[in-house]
Amino acid sequence: MRSMAPVAVRSLTMRDRTLERYPDPRARATYLAIVVLVSVVIFYEIYVQGAVSTEIIADFGIPLRTFVLASILGNAVGALAAWATGIADRWGRANLIVAGSGVAALVATFGLPNSTSAGVYITLYVLLSLTGGVVLVATQALVRDFSPQFGRATAMGVWTLGPVLGNLVISVVTNRTADAHPDWQFQYYVAGTVGLVTTAIAFIWLRELSPALRNQVMVSLADRELVEKRAAAAAGADEREDSADGSMWTRALVIPSIGISLFLVFYITRVGFLVLYFATTFGYATSKANGLATWYWVANAIALVATGVLSDRLKVRKPFMLAGAVLSLGALAVFATRATHPDTSYADFVVLLVLLAIGGAMVNNAWLTLFSETVERINPAAVARGMAVYGSVLRAAVTVILIGFMLTVTAAGTLADHGREVGRIAATYQAELETLGKVAPATMNRLRADPEARKPRVDALTGLTGLPRPVVAGAVRRNTNGVLGKGLPRTQRAKLLTAQKQVTAALAVPIPDLVYLTEHGAEVQQAVKDTPLEWRRWWWVCFIAQALFLPIGLRMKGPWLSRHAARENRIRQERAAAELEALG
């Protein structure tokens, strides 16, 4: 076994990162830890946009549809990048991860927070998504390479902590820093800096198996000697690489990938728009909404690891997929109904999101593990291209999902685009707007044009005080030196003075604010009524999509019962022992 120190020095050349022998447990754990760290940070950089979406929309003044378009383009490009990452089967995984991680960190640190326009921001976000698609497929392939099938679920559970911990970091950081650093650029500075440090770690220490080693199927660590002998007996590098030829776009991989994409509709919406949902429907501040997200991600992280450990111990995947789907469907049905119940408590949402997190983790972990085993069964020499099928289908599905979301939840876009400004005007000039609501607009316009005009002032004061018009007209006519209502009874004079102050304050409201309120006030009021209904409709779409996962996502071959898995393992061990003896 080669030592870590000389390998670390050689890796600085960015050339040879391959291991000719399967690493010992300690080294393997180190490589897996680096892979997981890179995944966490990539998801952190990509998903931080969702946590500050309302601030970005307000800063650039872009409609929500344009903002969603950035995610659509990002995922469409990410799908192409994931498909292209299949070259990692020939060119290796580690350098792709280092290069992609570095580009993503540079974009997050120096590009996105310094965008001068919405167009520049969207272009850079698409670039970030492209590099993210490359890195994530390559990291999945590396997890498979370093994980025997008996232990794969635990390893995949840890890898799946990438999006979970990435979002958890986002929730914690934004929750703790949003008040002190309300500018969205700060969040990208933090994420990008972390990405640069992570890139340096991967650059120095990350390794991968040689093609001959990774082209073997390792069921358990006991197969280590057999796998190394198989690799040593391979005819040559060219022959081994040729075995990776052939399309991996088969029904056995594409259909299950469509199934898991359907199940993840809620997850995708949750990642991108949960803050927007609670802001537009329940009036939650960014920090409060991200506090809810923290509960979700903590529960999801625990469930991912627990599912992996139990699945490896029982050596089955499908029961966890079924149980998780049923749990998620039940919680999602209740969650959908809460959209039209503004009295739903924060604690109720915590419970529902925790249940959704646990169910989703069970499904995602078990499915991803079984999928990687299916890829190995088809062609172990084409693992990266097999995992790229899943990555491409998922990101293409996300593109379709976001388009559907954009067409379904339209009222939330109105609130995101205009709700904040309308709310600011309404809160700042609440009393003045009440006055304007009681006075005819034409009357106020005449007073703005000529504040000394007597007739419109009489009209305004009459409407506000309810006094007889002759009384008001006489008071205005006798008004000298600013003393209004001189000689009138005390109550009438008090009403006139109060009304006079109200008119003066109403005339001081800026004209642009009034114009904005006139143009968007009515549609914002309607959107407040429509938004809960539209969100509820979308959550039921997510429910239907998850229900469709059951007949589609469970198509992959795999045992349902532990005793069946044990019997298959005994047969495999006998064959492995015979093969090892034959190899000498």
Helix 265-282 vs helix 383-408: crossing angle, to nearest 10: 30
What pLDDT was estimated at residue 470?
87
Least confident of 180-184, 264-268, 394-398, 411-415: 411-415
Query: Domain map of the chain by residue range?
Result: 24-409, 430-508
CATH 3.30.1280.10 assigned to domain 24-409? The reply is no
Partnered with residue 273 across adjacent β-strands are none
**Helices 161-177 and 185-205: angle between axes, nearest 10 degrees:** 140
Would you place residue 571 in the very low, low, confident or very high pLDDT band (cuts 50, 70, 90)? low
Mean pLDDT is highest, among 34-43, 240-249, 290-299, 354-363, for 354-363
3-state secondary structure of 19: strand
β-bridge mates for residue 19, sequence order: 209
- Three-state SS sequence of 422-435: HHHHHHHCHHHHHH
**Cβ atoms of 536 and 344 closer than 8 Å:** no
Nearest to 86 by CA among 212, 246, 198, 210: 246
Residue 219's pLDDT is what? 67
Is residue 398 within 8 A of residue 545, CB to CB? The reply is: no
Rounded CA gap, 421 and 282, in Å?
Answer: 17
Among the ranges given (54-68, 170-184, 232-246, 471-485), the one the predictor scored with the smallest mean pLDDT: 232-246
The string of pLDDT tens digits covering residues 45-86 is: 988 887 787 788 778 877 777 777 777 777 777 667 666 666
- The residue to which tokens 């996962």 are assigned: 549
pLDDT of 578? 66
Q: Could you tell me what percent of the chain has a pLDDT over 90?
A: 22
Neighbours of 508 (CB within 10 A): 9
Q: Residue 206 burial (CB < 10 Å; 0-12/13-18/19+)? A: buried
Asked whether residue 485 carries a pLDDT value surpassing 80, the answer given is no
Reported as a pLDDT band with limits 50, 70 and 90, residue 12 is very low
